[in-house]
């Protein structure tokens, strides 16, 4: 068999090389955003960045690791609370956004030992119980003043224009950083192990994957990301009402974004966040019917299109913009479906 006709295993393709360069250009362009865009556009983009973080983190947990949680609002709320608590103690207000998220991530590590004992649907609602408990415990802090809530008053030290730009940059850095971390993680051998766990825990264990430590890592990363999003949200909204931050509606948004964009696809998180952002802008004012529509869409996608829009694209085309798996290119240029990330890479 000559080398020319032998099938080749490849990861990068011309399209994906263009995509990664384009992504870098977009991020660089966004970095100078506050100097160009209107104040309104900067605020909107900050919100979009936070949605991308939420979608990405929920997708990492569910789409890649197979852990459905209805309680990620626990970390979202705690992240916001931690930022307020630290700022009140005199930590600089912007450092406290990141420091608070790190502390919440550190708390999630021991929590994971307990919660990961639960399987499937039990884990999902168990996390919701955790979120309710965190909500009640945060209410005990007199700084929060119960359901009345409080605000991140330390931000008043900045002029509104400076504050808007700083929050925007923090959100951009957090989003880009988390995207890079998840991208690198999923492409590593550990990422293959994580996806093998999703497909079959027993099979993964049988080929030597350390199932529990891999799950705990993803659980902690997802908690850190959700906390980061919560901290950024309080920096844009300024006010902190526990009821609003610990609401399961946040999880509903995450499910919507991940399901519609594409569960278990990397690009799907970004796509889902953009779609959700647009839908909220168009229909958000409809109130209750908007929420009915979100719930119904999630239901329909779960039943009929569980791989979401990007999953649909991947199944029908060979397009991979940000590849996390490998693919087999057969002789004559025809490409087989992904062998890598989708299935059976656990041994590698």
Partner 1 sequence: MIFLNQTIQGVLLGGYYALIACGLSFMFGVMGVINLAHGSLAVLAAYALFVLADRFGVQPFLGLCLVAPAMALVGWALQRLVLERSARGGLLVPVLSTFGLSIVIDNLLFQGFGADTRSLAPYIGDFSYDSWTLSDEIAIGKLAALTLAVAIALLGGIETFLNRTQIGRAIRATAEDPDTVGLIGVNARRVNAIAAAIALATVAVAGAFLGMRATFDPYAGAAQLIFAFEASVIGGAGSLWGTLAGGIVLGVAQSLGALVNPQGFFIAGHFTFLAVLFARLFFGDLGQRVRTALTGRKRS
Taking CB under 8 A as the criterion, the residue among 296, 330, 331, 336 binding partner 1 is: 296
Instruction: Give the x-and-dash track for 46-65 against partner 1 (CB under 8 A).
Output: ----------------x---
Taking CB under 8 A as the criterion, the residue among 161, 189, 284, 295 binding partner 1 is: 295
Taking CB under 8 A as the criterion, the residue among 5, 288, 316, 332 binding partner 1 is: 288
At CA 273, angle to CA 306 and CA 47, rounded to 5? 155
What minimum distance in Å lies between the beta carbon of 258 and partner 1? 9
Question: Is position 126 an interface residue for partner 1 (rule: CB under 8 A)?
Answer: yes
CB count within 10 Å of CB 18 equals 11
Closest CA to 209 of 109, 338, 326, 345: 345
Question: Is position 129 an interface residue for partner 1 (rule: CB under 8 A)?
Answer: yes
CB 52 within 8 A of CB 60: no
Closer residue to partner 1 (CB): 121 or 347: 121
CB 295 within 8 A of CB 252: yes
Contacts of residue 294, Cβ cutoff 8 Å, sequence gap at least 6: 252, 253, 256, 279
Question: Is position 204 an interface residue for partner 1 (rule: CB under 8 A)?
Answer: no
Give, for 112, the enclosing helix (H) or strand (E).
Answer: helix 93-115
What minimum distance in Å lies between the beta carbon of 149 and partner 1? 15
Taking CB under 8 A as the criterion, the residue among 27, 118, 244, 322 binding partner 1 is: 118
Closest CA to 60 of 312, 268, 233, 316: 268
Taking CB under 8 A as the criterion, the residue among 159, 208, 289, 316 binding partner 1 is: 289
CB 195 within 8 A of CB 70: no
Question: Is position 120 an interface residue for partner 1 (rule: CB under 8 A)?
Answer: yes
Please tell me the distance from the alpha carbon of residue 270 to that of residue 179, in angstroms, as a whole number.
9
Question: Is position 336 an interface residue for partner 1 (rule: CB under 8 A)?
Answer: no
Q: Which stretch binds partner 1 (CB under 8 A): 15-23, 98-106, 119-127, 230-238?
A: 119-127
Question: Is position 297 an interface residue for partner 1 (rule: CB under 8 A)?
Answer: yes
DSSP labels for 30-90?
HHTHHHHS-HHHHHHHHHHHHHHHHHHHHHIIIIIT----S-THHHHHHHHHHHHHHHHTT
Question: Is position 122 an interface residue for partner 1 (rule: CB under 8 A)?
Answer: yes
Closer residue to partner 1 (CB): 29 or 295: 295
Angle in degrees, 0-180, between the axes of helices 14-31 and 160-187, rounded to the nearest 10: 160
Question: Is position 334 an interface residue for partner 1 (rule: CB under 8 A)?
Answer: no
Site for partner 1 in 225-284 (CB under 8 A): 248, 251-252, 255, 259
Taking CB under 8 A as the criterion, the residue among 9, 17, 117, 161 binding partner 1 is: 117
Site for partner 1 in 132-191 (CB under 8 A): 132-133, 136-137, 139-140
Site for partner 1 in 62-81 (CB under 8 A): 62, 66, 68, 70
Alpha carbon distances (Å) from 318 to 15, 323, 326, 332: 10, 11, 12, 15
Residues within the interface to partner 1 (CB under 8 A): 62, 66, 68, 70, 113-115, 117-118, 120-122, 124-126, 128-130, 132-133, 136-137, 139-140, 248, 251-252, 255, 259, 288-289, 291-292, 294-300, 302-303, 306
């Amino acid at each position: 068999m000559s080398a020319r006709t032998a099938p080749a295993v490849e990861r990068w393709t011309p399209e994906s090389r263009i995509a990664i360069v384009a992504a870098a250009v977009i991020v660089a362009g966004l970095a100078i955003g506050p100097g160009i865009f209107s104040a309104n556009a900067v605020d909107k983009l900050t919100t979009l960045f936070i949605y991308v973080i939420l979608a990405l983190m929920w997708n990492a947990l569910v789409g890649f690791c197979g852990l459905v949680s209805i309680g990620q609002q626990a970390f979202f709320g705690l992240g916001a609370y931690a930022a307020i608590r630290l700022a009140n103690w005199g930590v600089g207000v912007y450092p406290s956004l990141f420091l608070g998220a790190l502390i919440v991530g550190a708390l999630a590590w021991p929590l994971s030992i307990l919660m990961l004992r639960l399987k499937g649907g039990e884990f999902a609602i168990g996390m919701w119980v955790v979120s309710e408990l965190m909500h009640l415990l945060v209410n005990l802090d007199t700084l929060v003043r119960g359901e009345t809530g409080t605000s991140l008053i330390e931000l008043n030290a900045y002029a509104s224009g400076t504050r808007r730009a700083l929050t925007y940059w923090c959100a951009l850095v957090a989003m880009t950083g988390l995207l890079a971390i998840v991208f690198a993680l999923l492409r590593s051998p550990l990422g293959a192990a994580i996806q093998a766990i999703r497909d079959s825990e027993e099979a993964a264990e049988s080929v030597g994957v350390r199932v529990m430590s891999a799950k705990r890592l993803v659980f902690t990363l997802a908690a850190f990301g959700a906390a980061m999003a919560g901290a950024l949200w309080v920096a844009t909204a300024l006010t902190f009402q526990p009821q609003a931050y610990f609401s399961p509606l946040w999880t509903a948004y995450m499910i919507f974004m991940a399901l519609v964009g594409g569960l278990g696809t990397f690009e799907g998180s970004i796509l889902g966040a953009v779609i959700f952002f647009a839908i909220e802008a168009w229909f958000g004012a409809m109130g209750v019917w908007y929420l009915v529509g979100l719930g119904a869409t999630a239901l329909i996608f779960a039943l009929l299109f569980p791989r979401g829009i990007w999953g649909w694209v991947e199944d029908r085309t060979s397009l991979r913009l940000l590849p996390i798996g490998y693919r087999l290119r057969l002789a004559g240029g025809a490409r087989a479906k992904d062998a890598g990330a989708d299935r059976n890479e656990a041994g590698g």
